[in-house]
Amino acid sequence: MTDDDAVLPNLEELLSTARVVALPLVTRFRGLDAREALLLEGPQGWTEFSPFAEYDDHEASAWLAAAIDYGWNAPPPALRDRIPVNATVPAVDPDSVRAVLARFPGCRTAKVKVAGGDETLAQEIARVRAVREALGPEGRVRIDANGDWNVDEAEHAIHALAPFDLEYVEQPCPTVEELAEIRRRTKYMGIPIAADESVRRADDPLAVAEAGAADILVIKAQPLGGIRRALDIVARAGLPVVVSSALDTSVGLAMGAQLAASVPDLAYDCGLGTAALLAADVTRDPLVPEGGSIAVRRVDPDPELLDRYAAGAERTEWWIERLGRAYAVLDAAPRTGLDAAPSGPTD
């Protein structure tokens, strides 16, 4: 996107098509029972603005920049038309693992949520064991701690989970410094460290790569300010990447799929199969995994489903006001184009 292309549409244009939805989840995820999102229709098609509720207006502005980029600008060329995806296993008991995996047909990689909440390490080991048994020896198992361990806890947990042949450990600790330390401590085990929050919620998303704190970057289109900004980070970081989602609707997942389609080297299955975690979606043709992958395509929401799952008046007003505040941050930012949209502060 050139500077001339990166025109910020006016707020009234954005609000004219804004629809807020609340989609129920199959299983509680990130403490949520429903996923709220604000959808917009631009000249290129429908797009999504759905920063999590705890994110401040500065962080949310990057998500809005991404929504505008995808809805108002033609995407970069696609290098592939389908994206291999992983299954995502929330904090469920081991007996529920196979039912979760069944929602991701054909997926041979599973990301298992660990850490956080009131679970013990023994419970997390049991869940990872159940995933490994369900996938068999040829399946790939990765774990995601969302930065909820300190370095000592992470080292202990990685040792305990290593027998399950981990593909990588995602965001075991919250800070770049801690990631560098846990990577140093566990390097002899040959289990790569991936960074997620240290990329998408950082003032400098390249700091983790520059510090040698990760082997893999997890990138997400919305938090990073859009497809082009994410591709620029990939090019400058020089590390392999996994393109993932933020529990988006299928409209947001389509943005993530377009990003994954444009990444030059895509060595890992992507975390873009999360529509399977939604009990409802905004389209009758959702981007759920088929044969272990999802298609690269635009998604148009169904008007009847937008009405059925419309958020209540209070939540709709909250999202509309939030969009306005995020827009004000974008409008005031010293930039020549949306590619320079601000990212959020470090956790």
Query: What are residue 4's phi and psi, to 5 degrees?
Result: -70, -30
Give 140-177 pLDDT, tens digit per residue. 999 999 999 999 999 999 999 999 999 999 999 999 99
Tell me which of 35, 111, 113, 200 is the catalytic residue.
113
Q: Where on the phi/psi map is residue 257: left (φ > 0), alpha (ψ -120 to 50), or beta?
A: alpha
Which residue in this structure is represented by tokens 């429903």? Answer: 34
Judge whether residue 29 has pLDDT over 90. Answer: no
d(CA 6, CA 125): 47
Is 196 annotated to bind a ligand? Reply is yes
Cα-Cα-Cα-Cα dihedral sign, residues 328, 330, 334, 337:
negative
Is 33 annotated to bind a ligand? Reply is no
% residues pLDDT > 70 (the chain): 95
Q: What is the CATH number of domain 82-295?
A: 3.20.20.120
d(CA 147, CA 154): 9
Q: Where in the chain is the domain with CATH 3.20.20.120?
A: 82-295
d(CA 197, CA 124): 21
Question: What's the pTM value of the predicted model, to 2 decimals?
Answer: 0.92
Q: Where in the chain is the domain with CATH 3.30.390.10?
A: 11-76+303-340
Give the residue-averaged pLDDT of 94-118.
95
Q: Of 14-18, 98-102, 118-122, 337-341, which range is least confident?
A: 337-341
- Known catalytic membership, residue 111: no
Tell me which of 127, 140, 183, 220 is the catalytic residue.
220
Report the chain's mean pLDDT, rounded to a whole number.
Answer: 93
Superfamily holding 11-76+303-340:
Enolase-like, N-terminal domain (3.30.390.10)
Inter-residue contact 70 to 37 (CB < 8 Å): no
Judge whether residue 218 has pLDDT over 60. Answer: yes
Q: Of 39-53, 75-89, 197-211, which range is least confident?
A: 197-211
- For the record, the structure tokens of 126 come out as 């049991």
